[in-house]
Amino acid sequence: MNKNERLEALKKTHQENREKKIRQKAIQEQRERIYNDMVAKQRKHRRELKVAPKDSFISLQHINKIYDNRVQAVFDFNLEIKQHEFIVFVGPSGCGKSTTLRMVAGLENITGGDLYIDHVYANDLEPKNRDIAMVFQSYALYPHKTVEGNMSFGLKIRKFPTPVFDKEGKPVLEINKGLIHDLEKEKKNLLLFRRDMETSDPSRMEAIDKDVQELTEKIEYLKVTPVQKYVNKHLPKEEIKKRVDDASEILQINEYLDRKPKALSGGQCQRVALGRAIVRNAKVFLMDEPLSNLDAKLRVQMRSEIIKLHHRLNATTIYVTHDQTEAMTMATRIVVMNKGHIQQIGTPVEIYNHPANLFVATFIGSPAMNLFPASFEGETVTFKNGSTIVLGASWRGKAKAFYEKELASYIEEKEQLLKDFKERNALLEKLDYLKTLPESDKTKQEIDNLSFEIEHVTKSNERLTYLEDAIVKYQEFLAKGVYDVRFGIRPEDIYEEGKAYTDGALSKAIVGEVTVPELLGHEYFVHIDFNDQDLVAKIAAKRLINAGETINVVFDLSKVHLFDSVSTKIIQ
């Protein structure tokens, strides 16, 4: 390398380091701003009137979590959970599912958003006051206590509201001053909120006045009406023993009550952890990957035990896992998460048959959905090797409508992002000022440096960069009428020609060579060379299939999915 080449290499390295520093600084400034704005908004929001949704037992509204290092783990999480539901959060490691669960439990602070549990605003409630029982991945058993000691410990240290009776066994009545104080405080806050709304939103006055009137009536009633007196007491030993015995009977661990955790297997430890939660008689059960430490056979057994337990206790459960099989077999509804964002919420059947995007399509289902890059025009899919599949008239116009809607949405989002991009806007104001100064070498250099900084500060915002690229591609797609897509079909929706078990329209026969036939007893997972990729089909084992033989297969066209290659969203 000669001197000039070395100088060019050094100049290039210097330029790259400069770009890197500008982007890193800009990213940190943006994270700091987002955190500060969210904290300020939440502080102001706390003073507002909180109204829990009537139809939800647990409500998570616009929940965000940003850690002290300003890295955001959960983005705008919204979910309404009905009583007795079994909700499963599923996603890869680091997607934010356990963080969300810990915010519900009160083990993590909520940076922004509202949490309601049983119609009570729970953001500021201590974990012990949320009436929640949690089962941890590591079991979290006390090694020096027996099974009975582990299950009863929480009951022994906690006090419960207990009715007071006199010597004759009659209830002791008193004016409930504590409740009156709480209601008066609530009324005071409501009146302060009303004062703010008088100028900003007068239309809400009637509803607020009605709430104030109801609180006033309750307070006046309580002031003159004695009610049953309660005091906080530890549970009697007999009640604690009964609860432990009942839970151990349900979980079939009666014979292990005198053992310590070191003398138990993983499955038995898991039962003890469940038992400790059961004795609490809590409103909500939270389970954080409780089966991940068990072997495959024991996981299957414990899955069914937990489902039976859920129905027997008539509980409301939130269950976290990264195992899609657990999610599909256990859930009333599934929440699929990735990188802190909700990807889709729905029943197992909805998630499986109608995935919202490529991530959901590939994460749920085993074997995974077959996916192939292709182009789509009119009603015809064209693969890279030139082969085509005609999907039918029902697809005509779908792609055009989808991309027009996405383009309009992305343009609007980009405009809003640029409007809110304070760091970039401050630099643009400075640039405009410099351009008003008399021309000089110094001013020209400052303008060049500032323009360079603006360029890379803009590029530091990944979402903005993505939107700009997507808008260009969508405009090209719409201009040509040809769309870059990912063609998807599940293995069970592919049939051997002449042996299709479906009422849906079928594609023309696709001829391929069998590369690997996996015999699973009653069916084959047949791997076929198609479009220079592996196509997997589930085919009934009615005959022997050998590697190297040619096979004709057809697709069920009613089960075909097309995904946008840019956003990965499903086209529908």
What CA–CA distance (Å, rounded) separates 80 from 373? 36
3-state secondary structure 490-507: CHHHEEECCCCCCCCCEC
Q: In what order do the strands lie in the sheet with 494-496?
A: 494-496, 550-555, 510-519, 523-530, 533-540
What CA–CA distance (Å, rounded) separates 507 from 488? 14
Going from N- to C-terminal start, the domains of the chain cover 161-233, 367-391+484-564, 398-480
Give pTM, 2 decimals: 0.86
**CATH class as words, domain 367-391+484-564:** mainly beta
Name every residue whose Cβ is closer than 8 Å to that of residue 498 and which is 6 or more positions away in sequence: none
3-state secondary structure 322-334: CCHHHHHHHCCEE
The confidence score (pLDDT) of residue 1 equals 64
Which amino acid, 9? A
- 422-427-432-437 Cα dihedral, nearest 10 degrees: 150
Token code pair at residue 549? 């033989």
The confidence score (pLDDT) of residue 480 equals 94
* Angle of CA points 65, 71, 76, to nearest 5°: 35
What CA–CA distance (Å, rounded) separates 290 from 303? 10
**Number of neighbouring beta carbons within 10 Å of residue 102:** 18
- 64-69-71-74 Cα dihedral, nearest 10 degrees: -30
Q: What pairs with residue 58 in β-bridges?
A: 81, 117
* Angle of CA points 379, 382, 388, to nearest 5°: 80
* 423 backbone φψ class: left, alpha, beta (φ>0; ψ -120 to 50): alpha
What CA–CA distance (Å, rounded) separates 246 from 272? 13
The confidence score (pLDDT) of residue 160 equals 76
Cβ atoms of residues 69 and 28 within 8 Å? no
What CA–CA distance (Å, rounded) separates 411 from 74? 25
Place of tokens 């890295």: 71
List, run by run, the mean pLDDT of 10-residue segments along the chain (572 residues): 77 85 91 92 82 90 94 95 95 93 94 93 89 86 91 85 83 85 83 75 78 87 86 86 88 89 87 87 89 81 86 90 91 95 96 95 91 93 90 90 96 94 91 87 87 90 94 96 95 89 86 89 89 88 88 92 96 89
Place of tokens 């509804």: 333
Cβ atoms of residues 388 and 367 within 8 Å? no
The confidence score (pLDDT) of residue 196 equals 73
